[in-house]
Amino acid sequence: MLSGLSDWFWQEQLWFPKGLGWADLKDQDGRVYAKAQDLWVALPIALIFLIIRQIFERTVATPLASLLGVKETVRLQVPHNPTLESYYCNITKNPKQTPIASLCKQTGFSERQVQRWFRRRRNQDRPSLLKRFREASWRFTFYLLAFIAGLAALIDKPWLYDLKEMWQGFPVLTLLPSQYWYYMIELGFYGSLLVSVASDVKRKDFKEQIVHHVATILLISFSWCVNYIRAGTLIMLVHDSSDYFLESAKMFNYAGWRNACNYIFIVFAAVFIISRLVIFPFWIIYCTWIYPVTMYEPFFGYYFFNGLLMVLQCLHIFWAVLIIRMAIRFLTHNEKVDDERSDKDETDESEEEEEQAKKDMRKNGPVQNGHTVHNNNHSKTE
Q: What is the DSSP letter of 372?
A: E
3-class SS letters over 71-131? CCCCCCCCCCCHHHHHHHHHCCCCCCHHHHHHHHHHHCCCHHHHHHHHHHHHHHHCCCHHH
Q: Which residues pair with 94 in a beta bridge?
A: none
Q: What is the DSSP letter of 299?
A: -
**Tens-digit pLDDT profile for residues 263-288:** 899 999 999 999 999 999 999 999 88
pLDDT at residue 215, rounded to an integer: 85
pLDDT of residue 205: 61
The H-or-E segment that residue 315 falls in is helix 300-333
Condensed to tens digits (0 to 9), the pLDDT of residues 52-67 reads 999 999 999 999 998 9
Residue ranges in the chain whose pLDDT is less than 70: 1-4, 6-7, 73-76, 125, 201-205, 333-382
CB atoms within 10 A of CB 335: 12
Q: What is the C-alpha to C-alpha distance for residues 303 and 220, in angstroms, rounded to an integer? A: 15
pTM of the entire structure? 0.75
